[in-house]
Amino acid sequence: MVSVIVPIYNAERFLNDCVTMILAQNVDNMEILLVDDGSTDASGPMCEDWARRDRRIRVFHKSNGGASSARNLGIERARGDFILFVDADDIIPTEHISTLLEVQELTGADLVSASVTYVPGPIIRPPPCVCDNWHFIELVLYRDGVGDYPVSKLYRRNLFNGLRFVEGITSEDFEIFYRLYRRAVRVAITDRTTYYYRQNNASVSNNGFSEKFFNRIEICERLLRDIEREKPELLPAARSRAVDEAIWLYGLLPKGYVEQREWIKNTVSIYKQQILENPKVTKKVKYKVRIFGFCPYLWVYRTKLKAFVIWIFCNMKNMSIGSQEV
């Protein structure tokens, strides 16, 4: 049986569509765990209404503790042999679960990962393969078509034995991925798109700077230490990811934070050449490193600079047209 865990917080706008899509999955042996994380809108009563309508649905209410806390409660109450996470505001086609189960049955994998499409945004299409845990971790570190997000993946339940999401931080997905994925002896990756991740402005990463974002740097430092001890061949991948995270954080920093800025600039400087010479690093990351390495402020203000250049171009074009008309 598959246990589908849905963390819910003030999701009344999307909840009915979400549950409808899960119930429409072309699988028979399934349970749905709706975990209401202290919602203040109508999400709680809506969950109860769905539970009355379908026996496969179980509802749990808890005080607000964040998505990690809700997922952890779902893991503890799950009865299935496999666990799958769905965010309440995302979109899944009818074949989402059956595709993951089909790949698992063919490969015997402990973890199955599928392609994700961002709405709006690009398709994140991984290279299909069956691999060990270390190759999968390497792909995640390089962001080579595979993300550290918990959705769009099917997990054998025993991977979570004694392991839970860390609560109270902003980077719970990034924090757990290494500890979780290294437990999977065999991993299967399919390039079939079966999950549509809805990007929204209410997400933590879209709401400006928070000092909690320093968690990601701490996680990177711990990750580098763990990989150096356990799998030093993956250090280039881990360094690439650490630099990518550092540049992202630098772009969010408000005025001040001089010590943190210097640490980030020094980190990029140390690993810049290694990253640029590494053929496994994506073009996107190399572009960030080149721009940031040349001038950090150019990276920070690149969007405004681009808009300014477009504005100048448009005005010059209008002036040219006006002079021709005269």
Q: What is the dihedral of CA 140, 142, 144, 146, to 10 degrees?
A: 20
Q: Does residue 317 surpass a pLDDT of 90?
A: no
Q: Looking at the domain covering 2-201, what would its CATH class be?
A: alpha beta
Alpha-carbon distance values, 131 to 140, 151, 185, 235 (Å): 13, 19, 9, 19
Percent of the chain with pLDDT over 70: 90
User: Quick one: which of 30, 143, 184, 38 has its CA closest to 92?
Assistant: 30
- The three-class DSSP label of residue 186 is strand
Contact yes or no for 18/89 (Cβ under 8 A): yes
Read off the DSSP letter of residue 42.
T
Instruction: List the structure tokens of 283.
Output: 């073009």
pLDDT computed for residue 205 by the predictor: 46
pLDDT in tens, 20-65: 999 999 998 999 999 999 999 999 999 999 999 999 999 999 999 9
pTM of the model: 0.88
Chain-centre distance for alpha carbon 280: 20
Span 249-271, mean pLDDT? 91
Contacts 24+ apart (CB under 8 A), 238-242: 238/141, 239/271, 239/274, 239/275, 240/141, 240/142, 240/271, 240/275, 240/278, 240/280, 240/281, 240/285, 241/141, 241/142, 241/143, 242/217, 242/267, 242/271
Q: How is the chain split into domains, by residue range?
A: 2-201, 208-294
pLDDT in tens, 110-136: 999 999 988 887 778 888 999 999 999
